Structure formats: C-alpha cells, structure tokens
Structure 1
Amino acid sequence: MNISEMKQALANATAVKFRLPDGTHLPAHFHVTELGLVNKHFIDCGGVERRETVANFQLWEAGDYDHRLAPQKFLHILQLSERILGSEDLAIEVEYQQATIGKFGLEFDGTDFVLTPKHTACLAQDACGIPAELLALPQLQTAGCTPGGGCC
C-alpha cells in the first residue's frame, strides 16, 4: 500500500482498525507514534549497490484505553508528515511491537488495514548459486545454508 492509497481509504473510513497477519486486531486504543522516511542504501550479496525508500509508520499501545484515532485525525497526521515524506507516493512499512519490533507491509481490505508479513530474500540469486527449486521460502528455510556452500 502506498501513501495515496492509505489517504483514499482513510477518507472513506468510519474507523481505523489494524489487523495482524494472524487475524487478531490491534487494540482500539493504539497510537501512531511515528511517521518517518526510511532510506536504505546497501550492497546485496552479489555486489550490486541498491537503494530503497519507504514511509515508515510505528504503531504502539499504552494503558490509555479511551484513546481512539479517528480517520480524519490520521489524515491530518499524514498531511503533517509531508514535510518529512515529501510528495512521492511511497510504499508504507509498519512497525509494531511484539516479542521484538515486527516489520510489516500494509494492505486495505475495505474495512481493516491489514499488516502483511515481510520476508527476507536474496536479491542476487544469479550470484548465489542456489538452485531455482530451492528459492521458494519454505524450502530455503529447511535446506539452510552451510559454511562455504555459496549462498548469501
């Protein structure tokens, strides 16, 4: 989901509800504590220099059980964040505290904002020497990498 899609969803929403990948909802008293711009400049395992830029939202909950974030208030926060985010229609990444800080993608299903799982991946598959049939995430997790095995 990009910023423009979130603004459109909020403009028509009567409530702001976030749902985790397991189907549970964040408590209704959650806060949006940060909206930021995250620039990542890195080298992949094949030696290719890459850059990624996303809008990052941090969701948090406290003991103030009467707190509710109205869609109009969230839109106002998004408008304020344009000073930092600029006018680019960035993809949104969401952080939410679980056992550690979880990082999620975001979708809207017409009612809820759905936090979607994010996964690591090899961006230089041609340089890693991993056979194509092992690149599927579940297989890669069970196959594992060994020292000197040529994987990332």
Structure 2
Amino acid sequence: MKLSELKSVLNNLETIGFVLPDETRVPSHFHVTEVGKVSKHFIDCGGVLRKENTINLQLWEANDYDHRLHPEKLLQIIALSEKVLQIKDLDIEVEYQSNTIGKYGLDFNGRDFLLINKTTNCLAPDQCGVPKEKIKLTNLTSKCTPGSGCC
C-alpha cells in the first residue's frame, strides 16, 4: 500500500484496526511510535547497485488500555512527517513487536488494515546460479478445448 492509499482509507474510517497474518488483531490500544522514511542503498548478489525507499510505521502497545489512536490523529502525524521528512508517495512497511520486530507489508480489506508477511528473494538469480522453477505440464489446467478457438 502506498501512502496516498493509506491517507484515503483513513479519511473514511471511524476507527483503526490492524490484523496480523495469523488473523489475530493488534490490540486496539496500540500506538504509532514512528513514521519514518527509510532509504536502503545496497548491492545485490549479482553486483547491481540498488536503492529502495519506503515509509515505515512502527506499531507498539503498552498497558494503557484506554488509549485509542483515531484516524484524524494519525493523519496529523502523517502530515507532519510528510512536511518535515519530505516524504513522497512511497510504499509502506509496518513494524510490530512479536518475538522480534516483525516487518510487514500493508493492505486493507474494507474494514481493517492487514499486516502482510514480507519475504526475501534473490534479486539476481541468473548471476547466482539459482535454478529456475520447472513447471510440470501435467499440473497445468486450461479451459480451452480443442476446436474451441480460444487457444
């Protein structure tokens, strides 16, 4: 999800809810302790220089059970961050504490924000000798039948 999408959704919400990948809810008394611009400048395993820029939201919870972050307040925090950090319309990553700090993508299901698991991947498989995944033709299905004209 990009920042513009987050702001658009927040403008139409009365309450904010987050759901983890295992479908448990982030407690409603969460705080957003950071809105940051993260720049990653790196070389991949194939020797290609890369840059990534994201917006980071850090969620945190304490024992202040009466705390509720309202959409208007989060929009104010985002507006200040855009101004001070000169944040553009970038993809959002969310950090949330579990056994360690988890890093998630963000989506919305019409009611709640969904924290989406992130994964690693080789960015230069042709340089690293990573074998290409083979597709078994027996596993392919098609709605086309011979003579139907769709193929």
TM over 0.5, shorter chain? yes
Query: 2:3 matched to which residue of 1?
Result: 3
Q: How many residues align?
A: 134
Q: Provide the alpha-carbon RMSD of the alignment.
A: 1.1
Deviations 1:49-107 (A, max 9, x none): 00000000100000100000011111111111113442521100000000000000000
Query: 1:74 matched to which residue of 2?
Result: 74
Q: Write the distance in 2 (CA, Å) between the matches of 1:83 and 1:34.
A: 15
Q: Write the distance in 2 (CA, Å) between the matches of 1:85 and 1:112.
A: 27
Q: Write the distance in 2 (CA, Å) between the matches of 1:130 and 1:87.
A: 36
Query: 2:62 matched to which residue of 1?
Result: 62
Q: Does 1:103 align with 2:103?
A: yes
Q: Write the distance in 2 (CA, Å) between the matches of 1:12 and 1:107.
A: 15
The answer as to whether partners of 1:106 and 1:114 remain within 8 angstroms in 2 is yes
Query: Residues 125-136 of structure 1: matches in 2 within 5 Å?
Result: 125-133=125-133
Query: 2:118 matched to which residue of 1?
Result: 118
Query: Residues 74-93 of structure 1: matches in 2 within 5 Å?
Result: 74-93=74-93
Query: 1:147 matched to which residue of 2?
Result: none
How many angstroms does 1:6 deviate by? Answer: 0.3
Structure 2-normalised TM-score? Answer: 0.86
Structure 1-normalised TM-score? Answer: 0.85
Displaced runs of 4 or more, over 3 A: none
Q: Name the amino acid aligned to 2:61.
A: E
Q: Name the amino acid aligned to 1:22.
A: D
- Secondary structure of the residue aligned to 2:45 is coil
Q: Write the distance in 1 (CA, Å) between the matches of 2:84 and 2:43.
A: 25
Give ranges in structure 2 of 5+ residues lacking alignment: 135-151
Q: Write the distance in 2 (CA, Å) between the matches of 1:85 and 1:44.
A: 27
Bigger helix fraction: 1
The answer as to whether partners of 2:81 and 2:87 remain within 8 angstroms in 1 is no
- Secondary structure of the residue aligned to 1:40 is strand
The answer as to whether partners of 2:82 and 2:88 remain within 8 angstroms in 1 is no
Change (3 A) 1:92 1:85: farther
Which structure is larger by alpha-carbon Rg, 1 or 2? Answer: 2
Q: Name the amino acid aligned to 1:19.
A: V
Identity within the alignment, %? 60
